[in-house]
């Protein structure tokens, strides 16, 4: 039975997205660092071990320079064993996606393509997807090169980053802001097709966040935890 904890975003200011949080689903094989990524973004801390079976939704408010007020995020940290964790609703729910793999695990890299395929099949519109190669601090265990990651992301029409959640809070922060920025760019482009909107460079995006996060207006909460759904149910629902 899912549990629900009620929660309010910070009360100091209205968010720029006016009560409509940016919804990001974080996908990827088990143990690639999805929970570490989410927790690092919200708390700045790297905490070594998490329950790998818990699926969690977090609400988080932070500042993005260039936006007049704080931005509300809702982040769904998916969980589960290999193939058994995706539901259509998890994908339909989101505005944007982060697909994580570990550069030390080729199997998790191979999973990225399948996940992107499921996103394409489920969403009826183009959505922002960021592919993240995590654990680059484990230099000697690397199995997937940066070039392979870049090539895959390009072929799937996704943005790409390599990071170490363990080593760098800035990389993690940048990953979330990158996907937020990509999403905004895509929304503008699709809602006004005749308008030419220039994409910002990585350096410009990095410059977006001098004050992230402001502790007094930062807030976080676990919203719900749900049991793991079955992949076969999901796959059959896709074919209906
Ligand atoms: N060395 C290293 N370990 C990491 C990194 N990110 C996560 N981990 C570890 O990888 C394991 C799985 O992380 P977790 O966030 O639970 O993975 P999830 O199953 O995808 O949510 C944990 O032991 C983390 O401490 C990283 O950047 N570097
Ligand atoms: Mg996890």
> pLDDT digit string (tens) for 108-138?
999 999 999 999 999 988 999 999 999 999 9
Q: Give residue 49 CA to ligand 2 midpoint distance, Å.
A: 9
DSSP label at residue 177: H
What's the CATH number for 3-191?
3.40.50.300
- Give the closest residue to 177 by CA, choosing from 233, 105, 96, 76: 96
- Give the closest residue to 76 by CA, choosing from 58, 101, 62: 58
**Ligand at shortest distance from the CA of 56:** 2
- The pLDDT of residue 234 is 41
- pLDDT category at 4 given cuts 50, 70, 90 is very low
In short, whether 56's Cβ falls inside 6 Å of ligand 1 is: no
In short, whether 32's Cβ falls inside 6 Å of ligand 1 is: yes
Whether omega before 213 lies within 30 degrees of 0, making that bond cis, reads yes
Looking from the CA of residue 77, the nearest atom of ligand 1 is 21
Q: 103-107, 176-180, 193-197, 226-230: which has the minimum mean pLDDT?
A: 226-230
Q: Is 80 exceeded by the pLDDT of residue 76?
A: yes
In short, whether 2's Cβ falls inside 6 Å of ligand 1 is: no
* 176, 156, 116, 21 alpha-carbon torsion, rounded to 10°: 30
pTM score: 0.78
Looking from the CA of residue 28, the nearest atom of ligand 1 is 20
Strand ranges inside 41-95, DSSP E: 55-63, 70-77
- Give the closest residue to 184 by CA, choosing from 199, 162, 164: 199
In short, whether 168's Cβ falls inside 6 Å of ligand 1 is: no
Q: Is 90 exceeded by the pLDDT of residue 16?
A: no
Q: Give residue 48 CA to ligand 1 midpoint distance, Å.
A: 7
Which residues does 170 contact at the CB level (< 8 Å), separation at least 6? none
- pLDDT category at 39 given cuts 50, 70, 90 is very high
| Residue-averaged pLDDT of the chain | 77
DSSP string across 10-51: -SSS--TTTT-PEEEEEEESTTSSHHHHHHHHHHS---S---
Higher pLDDT: 148 or 16? It is 148
- The pLDDT of residue 42 is 92
In short, whether 53's Cβ falls inside 6 Å of ligand 1 is: no
């Amino acid at each position: 039975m899912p549990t629900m904890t009620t929660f309010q975003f910070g009360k100091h200011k209205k968010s720029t997205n006016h009560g409509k949080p940016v919804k990001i689903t974080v996908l990827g094989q088990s143990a690639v660092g999805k929970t570490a990524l989410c927790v690092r973004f919200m708390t700045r801390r790297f905490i070594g071990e998490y329950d790998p079976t818990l699926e969690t939704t977090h609400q988080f408010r932070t500042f993005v320079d260039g936006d007049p007020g704080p931005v509300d995020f809702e982040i769904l940290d998916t969980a589960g064993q290999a193939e058994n964790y995706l539901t259509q609703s998890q994908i339909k729910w989101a505005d944007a996606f982060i697909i994580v793999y570990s550069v030390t695990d080729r199997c998790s890299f191979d999973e990225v393509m399948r996940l992107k395929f499921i996103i394409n099949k489920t969403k009826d519109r183009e959505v922002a997807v960021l592919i993240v190669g995590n654990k680059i601090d484990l230099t000697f265990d690397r199995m997937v090169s940066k070039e392979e990651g870049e090539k895959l992301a390009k072929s799937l029409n996704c943005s790409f980053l390599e990071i170490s959640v363990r080593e760098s809070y800035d990389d993690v922060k940048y990953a979330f802001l990158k996907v937020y920025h990509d999403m905004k760019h895509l929304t503008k482009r699709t809602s006004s097709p005749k308008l030419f909107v220039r994409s910002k460079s990585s350096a410009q995006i990095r410059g977006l966040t001098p004050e992230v996060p402001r502790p007094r207006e930062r807030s976080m909460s676990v919203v719900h935890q749900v049991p793991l759904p079955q992949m076969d149910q999901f796959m059959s629902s896709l074919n209906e």
